[in-house]
Amino acid sequence: MAAINKVDYSKAFAKRDFQFVPFLPKAAVLLKSANLRPDEDLLTLDRGGEHYAFLLKQMAYHHIAQGTLAGKPYLVSF
């Protein structure tokens, strides 16, 4: 049996500056009240009957969005 290499995860979780700042939404806004243009592109999530939508132009800047949806964590990259 081959030896299993130990992996050092400390670099992955070390506090550092990111090139792309993750987007951590703190509050939801109803799409009806968001005053979106009719041609606005959205990235949508759906889990357990709960929904989130992110503007693609927002995701193009942040590249990563994370939070909780229906009580479970999510991470979306674009």
Interacting residues of 63 by C-beta distance below 8 A, sequence separation 6+: 20, 77, 78
**What is the pLDDT at residue 60?**
86
Global pTM value: 0.60
Dist. CA 25–CA 75, nearest whole Å: 11
The residue ranges of every structural domain in the chain are: 39-78
Element (H, E) at 67: strand 64-69
Per-residue pLDDT tens over the stretch 8-48? 656 556 666 666 666 777 667 777 788 888 899 998 899 99
**What is the pLDDT at residue 31?**
77
When pLDDT is cut at 50, 70 and 90, the band that residue 63 belongs to is confident
Dist. CA 48–CA 37, nearest whole Å: 28
pLDDT of 61 > 60? The answer is: yes
